[in-house]
Amino acid sequence: MSNWMFSGIKSTIIAVAGLATFGLADNPISSYHYLADPSAASDDDTFYILTDVDDYSPQKNYDYKIVGLYAFTSKDMKNWTDHGMIFRSKREFTDYPSNTWASGIAVKKNGRVFIVYPNGASGVGMITAPSIDGPYTDPIKKAYGVNYIAAHYDASFLNGCDQIAHCFDPGIFIEDDGTGYVIFGGGENGDRGYGNNLDIIKFTESNGNVTLDKNSLKRLDAPGSFEAPYIHKYKGHYYLSFNTQPQVIDYSVSRGDDIMGPYDFVGTVIPSIGNILQEDNIYKEPGKTNLPGGNNHQGFAEFKGKWYAVYHDRRLVSRSNHPRSCTEAGECADNPNSENHRSVSIDELTWSYDQGKGYYTMNRLQFTDEGPEQIDYFDPYDRYKALTSSKQLNVRSRTDWTKNQPVTHVLTPLASKESWIRVSGVDFGKGAKKFSITGASVAEGNKVEIRTGSASGTLAGTCDIKKTSGWQDYADNECEVSGLAGIIEQLFIVFKGSKDSTMGLIEWEFIGEGGRTPDTPQSPYGGTAWAIPGKIEAENFDVPGVGRGSDLKSYYDSDSEDHGAESNGGVSFREGTGVDIYKKATGYIVGYNAEGEWLEYTVNVTEAGDYTVFASVATDNETSGFTLSLDGEPLASFATKGTSFDIFDTIQTNVTIPSAGQHILKMAVTGAWFDVDFFAFVKGKDAKSEDIVEALPKTIKLGSNSHATYDVFNLKGKKIASFTARNMDEAKALWNNGAVKGSEKACGMCLIRNRSNGMTAKIRVFR
């Protein structure tokens, strides 16, 4: 969450933090080669990212040389396995195109992969494989573009790309029943950016075989579309996204449940990548890192109950420690140009329900250096490809290819420098005993160290890497490890040697007793669920759980820094969460709220039925807002307006809670920059704010003889007095009668707040 006063410089704060910990930020997903044009997919247990290779492009802007496709997978959204260049068209099919720009991926639940790719800018083809590593075959009998399809299917099908000159950037979507769709297009140069440039065609798939429905080809209207069409589905509606001339990703939503449309335009979901501030503040033009023609490309996919957006940027090439780039002819550049050398990043995508439109809209994506939160601890007792990591430093890689076989991706560390890969959130359970790594070594003295905390942290073990007869001669290497039990937040595999690139590592794993640390689910702050009817303090969101699974999280904040700690003497009220909690005159509040952030509260509803829900908020913004949901179902939507972050207004709406018992209440930010103090539920419709006190649980003894501290605030939120009283009625009487120091100066409306339980009351006094 975020404080309003920092709203204009939040990305600057993130970039400065990255300076202190360079090499440890998680975006982009690879720091050792250039990638572009990502698309995304998932099956039941794996998230997939497909990218172009941007390593081989020449230094001339817009002169792209994209000869193959890379793939990355993750099971926890923090640690990524780089599978290497899984497809290189001329290598595998000699009569296929040289350039495969901006391809799309779909994955069925059985793990079968379908990829659609362009023939330069003049056609669309498809390949498939039983798994992401390949080997790939063509399910449409080498149909790789307009010429083949026009000759072998029907002259009307994609003849001249259906009059779309730039017939590229295909996206693919497959329904659960095997019905699939391919979308593509960019339009004439003179017409690009004016919309109505995208086509969609239907196909059916069974056991890896694909049949095109040549009569289904249809033009889709996409206002302002430039390129990068993409389709995904959410809660019964289809979402058509595309790149526009301002270099933002806009989108439309289907009016019904028909993927063929019609679609209604909504707006921007991914803003200009030029808004990302980079490590070292290296700018190619003032305030931007995008460079001229800084295009974008996107993919959206759901995984384990959360949604994610992938996109490309220029983070990597703008950093001081960036890889070289070499053309296929061997011409290398130490400082490659940014336009042709992009990098791929990922962030969590959030949604808001639009009651007027009757469907969910995508919240504008918040760019982060950290990337998505890890949703599952990493299991070290499996066999992993060597380039499985959350971050890397001074490593390189190559892809070994054998026709009709899955590819092998080889890690080649620059071992004479500080060289390592990092794995995050590793659950060693009862403890690891050994570490095993497979690789080739063409030099003596190479070794791998296992360390925790940092690349120079506690040493858990050292493996000597055997010298082998050559690059294709792989040997197993094993060593004992100690001190690896329970959850290790940061594990480093460090490479040591006297020369660079003399190791070729392909797989590693830990060996031990296995098992896993038992899960601890999220739980109410303070141990007791909030009562409804009753009041909920915003800062007292649930304590997150520990273990495997996204359902253990109780909050999402777009960066890890608590910007409110300074207001509390430098101490975070909720240490380790990064949620921005400020100490103000009215007590603790949640501020610096950015779009897509959310908080969850365990609540106990005593009775189903109609309620009035109140929220105490302060803002000087005209477009801020948030929603409330109960167990994932929309409950209420609030639009907040105000003139000051020091004046808290109580806003309200009517809701219906369908069932009693324990539920999860979620507050999700839909419009940035507001502060929130509390939420309160009062039984019945159209209650008054004065009724909030009556909604408090009966366990709060208003008539107790024990004294509590009461603070008094004017309507600007400034505290003007503090005193003790036995209950709220006595506090109001003391203030009214002028018996409290400071009350003799009070005039007009004041707010009295019980410091211990948060109960508030308004009182009007004239002297």
CA 550, CA 746: separation in Å to the nearest integer?
Answer: 50
What number is the average pLDDT over the span 629-653?
A: 90
Q: Among 92-106, 207-221, 263-277, which is the least confidently predicted range?
A: 92-106
Tell me the average pLDDT of the chain.
81
* Percent of all residues in the chain with a pLDDT value above 70, rounded to a whole number: 80
Residue 219: enclosing H or E segment and its boundaries? Answer: strand 209-220
pLDDT of residue 279: 38
180 has a pLDDT exceeding 80: yes
Contact call for residues 479 and 465 (beta carbons, < 8 A): no
Query: Do 384-512 and 525-695 have matching folds?
Result: yes
More confident residue, 500 or 320: 500
pLDDT of residue 627: 94
More confident residue, 761 or 557: 557
Instruction: Give 10-48 pLDDT, tens digit per residue.
Output: 222 222 222 222 233 589 999 999 999 999 999 988 999
Structure tokens at 668: 């999700």
382 has a pLDDT exceeding 60: yes
For residue 246, the 8-state DSSP code is T
Read off the pLDDT band of 743 (50, 70, 90): low
742 has a pLDDT exceeding 80: no
pLDDT of residue 11: 27
Instruction: Give 672-711 pLDDT, tens digit per residue.
Output: 899 999 999 999 999 987 778 655 443 333 333 456 777 7
Read off the pLDDT band of 669 (50, 70, 90): very high
What number is the average pLDDT over the span 605-628?
A: 93
Give how far Cα 525 sits from Cα of 521, 567, 574, Å: 12, 22, 10
333 has a pLDDT exceeding 90: no
pLDDT of residue 155: 30
Instruction: Give 45-85 pLDDT, tens digit per residue.
Output: 899 999 998 888 777 776 777 888 999 999 999 999 999 99
Residue 138: name the closest of 188, 197, 196, 94 by CA. 94
Name the CATH code of domain 384-512 (choices 3.30.360.10, 3.30.365.10, 2.60.120.260, 3.40.50.300): 2.60.120.260
Structure tokens at 688: 């008054």
1 has a pLDDT exceeding 70: no
Tell me the three-class secondary structure of 622-649, residue by residue: CCEEEEEEECCEEEEEEEECCCEEEEEE
Question: How many CA atoms are closer than 13 Å to the CA of 328, on its beta-carbon side?
Answer: 9
551 has a pLDDT exceeding 80: no
Q: Does domain 26-362 have CATH number 1.10.1740.10?
A: no
CATH architecture designation of domain 525-695: Sandwich (2.60)
CA 377, CA 702: separation in Å to the nearest integer?
Answer: 46
Residue 316: name the closest of 299, 331, 336 by CA. 336
What number is the average pLDDT over the span 126-153?
A: 65
Q: Among 234-248, 408-422, 532-546, 684-698, which is the least confidently predicted range?
A: 684-698
Instruction: Give 417-475 pLDDT, tens digit per residue.
Output: 999 999 999 999 889 999 999 999 999 999 999 999 999 999 999 999 999 999 989 99
Residue ranges of the domains in the chain? Answer: 26-362, 384-512, 525-695, 708-765
287 has a pLDDT exceeding 60: no
Read off the pLDDT band of 712 (50, 70, 90): confident
The CB-based long-range contact list for 139-146 (8 Å cut-off, 24+ gap) reads 139/114, 139/205, 139/208, 139/209, 139/210, 140/210, 140/212, 142/93, 142/95, 142/96, 143/212, 144/93, 144/95, 144/96, 144/97, 144/119, 145/97, 145/118, 145/119, 146/119, 146/122
603 has a pLDDT exceeding 80: yes
- Residue position matching structure tokens 């072998």: 152
